[in-house]
Amino acid sequence: MRKIIYYLFLIFFLQWNIYAEGNPKEEKSMQMAIRLTTDHIFRGYNYAMLASDRNNTPYSSVNFVPAVQPQFVYATPLKGLKTLFWSNFFITNLKDRDSDFAILQDGPGQTDRFASILSEMVNNSSAPAYNPYQTRSYRERNSLGRYDGIFFGVYYEWKTTFGEWSIGTWIWNNLNRFGKYTWQEYFIWYNPPVFKEANIKIQFFLNTSFDNGGSANSPMGITNAQNYLSIESSHTFFKDKGVEVTPSIVVGYVQNNDNISKRAGISNAVTSLKFSKSGYDLTFHVLYRPAVLLYDTSDKNKSDGKLPDPEKQIGYVNKYVYNEIGKVFPSDIANYLNYEMGSKKIINTVFIISMGYSWEF
| DSSP character string of 214-239 | T-TTSGGGGGSSEEEEEEEEE--BST
- How far is Cα 46 from Cα 88, in angstroms, rounded to an integer? 13
Please tell me which residue, 242 or 121, carries the higher pLDDT value: 242
State residue 184's pLDDT score: 85
Least confident range from 36-50, 144-158, 252-266: namely 252-266
Is the confidence at residue 207, as pLDDT, over 90?
no
CA pseudo-torsion sign 315, 318, 321, 323:
negative
Instruction: Please check whether residue 63 is in contact with residue 55, taking contact to mean a CB–CB distance below 8 angstroms.
Output: no
Q: What is the maximum span of the chain, computed from C-alpha positions, in angstroms?
A: 87
Instruction: Please check whether residue 260 is in contact with residue 212, taking contact to mean a CB–CB distance below 8 angstroms.
Output: yes
Count of CB atoms situated within 10 Å of the CB of 68: 23
Residue type, 225: A
- How far is Cα 250 from Cα 228, in angstroms, rounded to an integer? 12
- How far is Cα 298 from Cα 310, in angstroms, rounded to an integer? 12
pLDDT category, 14, cuts 50, 70, 90? very low
Domain limits of the chain?
2-13+26-93+143-293+348-360, 100-139, 306-345
**Phi/psi of residue 54, each to 5°?**
-65, -40
State residue 20's pLDDT score: 36
- Over range 216-242, report the average pLDDT: 77
Global pTM value: 0.83
- Over range 85-93, report the average pLDDT: 95
State residue 27's pLDDT score: 63
pLDDT digits (tens, 9 = 90+) for 285-310: 999 999 888 888 766 777 788 888 89
pLDDT digits (tens, 9 = 90+) for 29-63: 899 999 999 999 998 889 999 999 999 999 999 99
Mean pLDDT in the chain? 84
Please tell me which residue, 138 or 81, carries the higher pLDDT value: 81
2-13+26-93+143-293+348-360 fold: Outer membrane phospholipase (ompla); Chain C (2.40.230)
Query: 47 — alpha (psi -120 to 50), left (phi > 0) or beta?
Result: alpha
Q: Which of 237, 269, 239 is nearest to 253 (CA)?
A: 269
pLDDT category, 12, cuts 50, 70, 90? very low
Instruction: Please check whether residue 93 is in contact with residue 57, taking contact to mean a CB–CB distance below 8 angstroms.
Output: no
pLDDT category, 104, cuts 50, 70, 90? confident
Residues in the chain: 361
